[in-house]
Chains A and B, each alone.
Chain A
Amino acid sequence: EGTEVEHDEL
């Protein structure tokens, strides 16, 4: 389970 997500959406 990834705990960090890249916020590449607006």
Chain B
Amino acid sequence: NIFRILADLSHLASIVILLETIRKARQIDGISLKTQILYVLVFCTRYLDLLTFRWTSLYNTLMKFFFIGTSVYVVKLMQDCKLTNPVSYKDMMFRDTFQIKYLLGPCALLALVFNYKFTVLELCWSFSIWLESVAILPQLFMLSRSGKASTLTTHYIFALGLYRALYIPNWIWRYYSENRLEKLSIFTGLLQTALYSDFFYIYYRKVMKGRGFELP
């Protein structure tokens, strides 16, 4: 359906914006390495089904490879910055102080409690869906600590947030058209979107009206 397509396109756009930002500017100011590492973990644990060869569709498979590949590539580009732009790298590390163990632990526990089946694949899937819902927190934390961000960085976060937000009408659509109600994705998707709500509000008030992103 249209919401699902738009959501996935928005997800693709967010990654393209991020890659272009890092490659063009040759700096990583304001981008959280921790969030990017969490996304590698999210995609690698979610798409383990690639190994089972029970593929849903060519579209899904290509997208999965794209998300795993680009998330690893982003982390590599950011690590390269250590040599090519050490000032920017140090500055990023100085601000990227969120303790991700407070996300990883609870997500692992939640995956053990809430899952569709007690198998390695399903537990990893559940872990990834919980982790995705909070993976942006180091990035938002960094943003709130520095109080401002480059416009491109905010476009990236907006596109990334929009992706999960658009999955919500997709789930409503699927409930009515297929009678499908996938509770875990829906709950974590709502949680994820809620975490972005503050950001969305400031983005709408400032960036969309041509003013820079600056926190009150």
Contacts and interface: CB of A to CB of B under 8 A. Distances in A.
B56 A6 contact: yes
Contacts of A4: 116-117
Contacts of A7: 46, 49, 56, 125
Contacts, number: 26
Interface string B53-78: 00011001001100100000000000
Interface residues of A, number: 8
Range for the number of chain B residues in contact with chain A:
10 to 19
A10 B62 CA distance: 11
Interface of A: 3-10
Given A7-B49, A7-B56, A10-B64, 11 more contacts: A3-B116, A4-B117, A5-B182, A6-B56, A7-B125, A9-B4, A9-B167, A9-B170, A9-B185, A10-B8, A10-B63
- 4 tightest A-B contacts by CB? A8-B56, A5-B116, A5-B182, A10-B63
